[in-house]
Structure 1
């Protein structure tokens, strides 16, 4: 499945491309604005199963916000109308602010109308997906959302404060991505939305920070807490990795704790790996996973999706550590020693082969 995406390199675009990977789909990026190339846009759009228009402007002067959102939509509408094989579905990542009368809201509403008219002319289905405040892994601090700012500051030892304790309607970016790609419906209503105050959000993240700094997993028994934790730890990696474990030894042998989890289900497993063999080369969208080498020598390798830099941790059972796999990062463990490698794996959910949340992705491309 080929999907054309504007704003593919932004926060929501990155999450959308990750969600497409789970379905075996690929994105065709279409730059808009000053970087718009009509011929390249037409090539990317032709034959695509879906157009997802994410690109937008929500900061700047009133004139810039209004003009740029309309310009982006006009560029894509023109491309739709010129396509020999236009996508049968056109999706607009709209905002719940589209009806609040603000300059940004009016601009988004006008952009929706432009795209809807173009879709109607070519017989395509138009989905106007109204999204609330989004949060998630790797949002830009001080720009995308207050959740990103709080998480970044806490993970780096700073003390954020609340300037305006208003109430927010929040949605995790992966839930928004599912809506856009058609994996989770076409409205923003349902249990994917959470209502919380800015102060309440900071209190939750502060608790997460305190627990995780001890090397422990906070209460992730509910979806929102799990999504917040995954968001927070995207800012804590790699600075807070690996988690150092205390090994106790005496004449009987040795003992160390692998994990302390404060809430939610979980699953533990154990593997042996022969010298030179790797396990993994996949990523998770929501699953929390911890690797702990019990005996032997290994290298744990990780790469953030759609980037090239690989982080490596050389670990050994003689000095035990735990390495937590960030969501949306491909990862693997390789036995680099001469003896069999013994590894403990822990995840926060019980494996479901129907919904494995384990997507193949090589660490080294």
Structure 2
């Protein structure tokens, strides 16, 4: 359904907007039009952007401002601007609204989101399009902004930096990973629906304890914690994003004697996993892909290697140089394009480990080159 769609994402450069753009690229081969503050600042520019699409995922919103009124009216203003641009273009649009479960509450943010939904519903109906109103819970995931997007992002960054945050008023929170939210938004395209997106109740203190456990095992020794459930894996990937690239590479302790050397390559505390080896000739490379969820480790056993990584839809490249003379490894963060190249004169030997068993029908592996031009 989405493969033939032309889709715009408002708030396309924010946390959920980036995750949604990544998922459209990976799962549906769609390059969305990503709209930001500059587009909303100029009505003519916003309308011109909408002429290129037939569907809009409206994520842009205001959840913090100098006053309660600014929060409430800010969300209504964004919806009103989008509705006006749709009317100016004068054609049907299918609209999906990334609403909040707080829309059911009588507070400034909730009232603003509820009123924004009504504005967009009326505009979509008037223009002959569909409107999906998805009420999202608390979101978390890779590259959330600490102190802004969620307490999960704050905890992940604090723990990755070696600090221990405190929990005031521990309670269960409905948590949803941003990729699952993005999947729900995309699936709702072309539908008339209003519904709460299901989430998993997770304790605030439980999240912190997982991050502290992860930091103790992973940050210094590269041991993988128990990631047997989707929630633990998603929290682990959130921590890994916060810790990247500062914690890499890791050099395991080498035990050598007259027979040779011995060292651990992977120590995992729960969940599935598989390991495999490769040899790579001088000048050749492997990889050139990214994953949405998979945890993958590159361990250089012999030879000279260069690993390149680029965050999806971004330009900056992170590079690591690894040598078999001092065995070391780097884990590939989710949603980062990566490769490994033999930069030496001899054969490169690399061990790879992944937390998922290879499923050829659903490999969670999407081709893209490091050097590919991006839109961000």
The CA distance in 1 between the partners of 2:247 and 2:37, in whole Å, is 37
Partner of 1:206: 212
Q: TM-score, normalised by structure 1?
A: 0.95
Matched, 1:235 2:239: no
3-state SS of the aligned residue for 2:272? Answer: coil
Q: How does 1:142-157 map to 2 (within 5 A)?
A: 142-157=147-162
Measure how far apart 1:45 and its partner are.
1.7
1:92-143 superposed Cα distances (whole Å, 9 cap, x missing partner): 0000000011111011000000001111112211111110000111111111
Structure 2 residue aligned with 1:336: 343
8 Å contact kept, 1:5–1:53: yes
The CA distance in 2 between the partners of 1:2 and 1:138, in whole Å, is: 26
The structure 1 residue matched to 2:72, chosen from 66, 75, 86, is 66
Q: What is the match of residue 17 of structure 1?
A: 21
Aligned partner of 1:134 among 115, 134, 139: 139
User: 2 CA distance for matches of 1:152 and 1:40?
Assistant: 36
Q: Deviations over 1:318-353 (max 9, x none)?
A: 111110001111110000011121111111001212
Matched-pair contact (CA < 8 Å) for 1:95–1:130? yes
Contact 2:135–2:197, Cα closer than 8 Å, also in 1: no
Unaligned residue ranges in structure 2 (runs of 5+):
none
- Name 1:274's counterpart in structure 2: 281
Aligned counterparts, 1:113-192, within 5 A: 113-182=118-187, 187-190=195-198
Q: Does 1:253 align with 2:272?
A: no
Conserved 8 A contact 1:95-1:131: yes
Q: Are the structure 2 counterparts of residues 268 and 151 from structure 1 closer, same or farther at C-alpha, using a change threshold of 3 Å?
A: same
CA change 1:242–1:210 in 2 (3 A) is same
Q: CA deviation at 1:38?
A: 2.4
Contact map agreement 1:155 1:209 (CA 8 A) in 2: yes
Structure 2 match to 1:90 = 95
Tell me the TM-score normalised to structure 2 length: 0.92
Alignment coverage as a number of residue pairs: 362
Distance in 1 (alpha carbons) for counterparts of 2:201 and 2:85: 38
Kindly indicate whether residue 9 of structure 2 is the aligned counterpart of residue 5 of structure 1.
yes
Cα distance between partner residues in 1 of 2:207 and 2:253: 32
Query: What RMSD over aligned residues (CA atoms) do the two structures have, in Å?
Result: 1.8
**Structure 1 unaligned blocks of 5 or more:** none
**What is the SS of the residue equivalent to 2:298?**
strand
Distance 1:188 1:258, change over 3 A: farther
Over 3 Å counting, the alpha-carbon distance change for 1:2 and 1:269 in structure 2 is: farther
- Residue 37 of structure 1: how far off its partner (Å): 2.2
